[in-house]
């Protein structure tokens, strides 16, 4: 497959690097990472090991963006800009692996080419040209409104060919909310407590993560998605176990002094709650604390 990874930071470099073992991959990334990958190739270290030579560019042409599959791995708040750039090319299928409910933003520019996606792999960009896998998770792809499709099966098979754990999921509407519950719990709590995911295996941090996940499940149900409180909590526990050594993407943001996805994750739960009369005090507190930290001066 001809695959473009748009926004190849930590997650995109890991997934794109692994896909490059079997497919023709172009990473759209920032310098100095893009320059290093173009010159010396990309190393995947940590729990997985690979040396690959994908193409890399900071400035894709419409021809570069004309591909079988475009994976979007920018931060959720960069999705609209990514969608506008992707629409200058002609990707046959577009699939977001970012956290947050970003697919609707992609659909606005790219229409029915968009598949839903979610990833629980853990990744850190440790140096230009080197990405560390800190947790072997799973990828799910599927139709935004649910159901099976040949294109979702084809994308999942392409991932598996390259050795990634990936399934086509006919239940993506539920899966997206389950992943939002996982991130509402794990990301904000690990970022505020400055701990690895594994620290949420017990104790007070685990209780806060569970409360955030239960609130997310309540909002999901109010929006017509069948996600029980118990299933949301179990999903948090599974990801904590599978990615125990990972520093969540939001913890990495806070440690770098950069903007977080608090508004797109916990804030997304809070924003949808009033219409349904659902209380979301834990997500509100987590989002407010992270926004207060951001307002106090993130690095430019």
Ligand X SMILES: CC(C)(CO)C(=O)C(=O)O
Ligand Y SMILES: NC(=O)C1=CN([C@@H]2O[C@H](COP(=O)(O)OP(=O)(O)OC[C@H]3O[C@@H](n4cnc5c(N)ncnc54)[C@H](OP(=O)(O)O)[C@@H]3O)[C@@H](O)[C@H]2O)C=CC1
Q: Which residues of the chain form contacts with ligand X (CB under 6 A)?
A: 99, 120, 122, 137, 182-183, 186-187, 197, 239, 243, 246, 248-249
Give bridge partners of residue 115 from the DSSP assignment. Answer: 95
Residue 11 in contact with ligand Y, rule: CB under 6 A: yes
Cβ neighbours, 10 Å, residue 100: 23
Least gap, CB of 70 to ligand Y (angstroms): 12
For residues 99 and 280, which CB has a smaller minimum distance to ligand Y in the complex? 99
Least gap, CB of 16 to ligand X (angstroms): 17
Residue 83 in contact with ligand Y, rule: CB under 6 A: no
* Sites for ligand Y among residues 96-125 (CB under 6 A): 97-99, 119, 121-123, 125
Residues 97 and 117 sit within 8 Å (Cβ to Cβ): yes
Q: What is the CA radius of gyration of the chain?
A: 18
For residues 136 and 222, which CB has a smaller minimum distance to ligand Y in the complex? 136
* Sites for ligand Y among residues 251-280 (CB under 6 A): 261
Helices and strands (H and E) in the chain: how many: 11, 12
Least gap, CB of 269 to ligand Y (angstroms): 15
Residues 120 and 137 sit within 8 Å (Cβ to Cβ): yes
Residues 1 and 26 sit within 8 Å (Cβ to Cβ): no
Catalytic residue numbers read: 179
Q: What Cα–Cα distance (Å) separates residue 65 from each residue in 34, 115, 175, 249, 267? A: 16, 17, 28, 26, 31
Edge to edge, what strands does the sheet with 114-119 contain?
55-57, 24-28, 2-6, 69-72, 93-96, 114-119, 139-142, 166-168
Given ligand X, ligand Y, none, residue 197, with its beta carbon under 5 to 8 Å by kind, binds ligand X
Residue 175 in contact with ligand Y, rule: CB under 6 A: no
Binding mask 14-33 for ligand Y (x = CB under 6 A): --------------xxx---
Given ligand X, ligand Y, none, residue 186, with its beta carbon under 5 to 8 Å by kind, binds ligand X
Given ligand X, ligand Y, none, residue 10, with its beta carbon under 5 to 8 Å by kind, binds ligand Y
Q: Pick the stretch among 37-45, 94-102, 139-147, 160-168 that binds ligand Y (CB under 6 A).
A: 94-102
Residue 10 in contact with ligand Y, rule: CB under 6 A: yes
Q: Which residue is nearest to ligand Y (CB)?
A: 9
Residue count (the chain): 300
d(CA 259, CA 159): 30
Residues 287 and 266 sit within 8 Å (Cβ to Cβ): yes
Least gap, CB of 205 to ligand X (angstroms): 14
For residues 138 and 160, which CB has a smaller minimum distance to ligand X in the complex? 138
For residues 26 and 120, which CB has a smaller minimum distance to ligand X in the complex? 120
- Cβ-in-10-Å burial (0-12, 13-18, 19+) of 53 comes to middle
Provide the 8-state DSSP code for 189: H
Least gap, CB of 194 to ligand X (angstroms): 14
Q: Which residues bind ligand Y (CB under 6 A)?
A: 7, 9-12, 28-30, 73-76, 78, 81-82, 85, 97-99, 119, 121-123, 125, 249, 261
């Amino acid at each position: 497959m001809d695959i473009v990874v748009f926004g190849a930071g930590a997650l995109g470099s890991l997934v794109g690097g692994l896909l490059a073992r079997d497919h023709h991959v172009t990473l759209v990334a920032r310098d100095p990472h893009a320059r290093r990958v173009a010159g010396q190739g990309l190393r995947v270290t940590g729990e997985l090991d690979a040396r690959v030579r994908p193409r890399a560019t900071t400035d894709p042409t419409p021809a570069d963006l004309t591909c079988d599959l475009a994976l979007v791995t920018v931060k959720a708040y960069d999705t609209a800009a990514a969608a506008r750039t992707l629409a200058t090319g002609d990707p046959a299928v577009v699939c977001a692996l970012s956290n947050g409910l970003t697919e609707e933003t992609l659909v606005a520019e790219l229409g029915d080419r968009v598949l839903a996606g979610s990833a629980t792999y853990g990744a850190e960009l440790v140096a230009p040209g080197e990405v560390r896998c800190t947790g072997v998770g799973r990828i799910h792809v599927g139709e935004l409104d649910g159901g099976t499709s040949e294109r979702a099966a084809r994308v999942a098979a392409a991932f598996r060919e390259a050795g990634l754990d990936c399934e086509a999921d006919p239940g993506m509407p539920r899966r997206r909310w389950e992943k939002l519950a996982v991130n509402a719990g794990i990301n904000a709590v690990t970022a505020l407590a400055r701990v690895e995911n594994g620290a949420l295996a017990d104790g007070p941090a685990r209780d806060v993560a569970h409360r955030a996940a239960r609130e997310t499940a309540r909002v999901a149900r109010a929006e017509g998605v069948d996600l029980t409180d118990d299933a949301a909590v179990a999903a948090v526990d599974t990801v904590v176990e599978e990615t125990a050594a990972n520093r969540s993407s939001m913890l990495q943001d806070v440690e770098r002094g950069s903007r977080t996805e608090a508004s797109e994750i916990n804030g997304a739960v809070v924003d949808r709650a009033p219409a349904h009369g659902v209380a979301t005090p834990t997500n509100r507190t987590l989002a407010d604390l992270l926004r207060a930290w951001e307002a106090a001066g993130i690095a430019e």
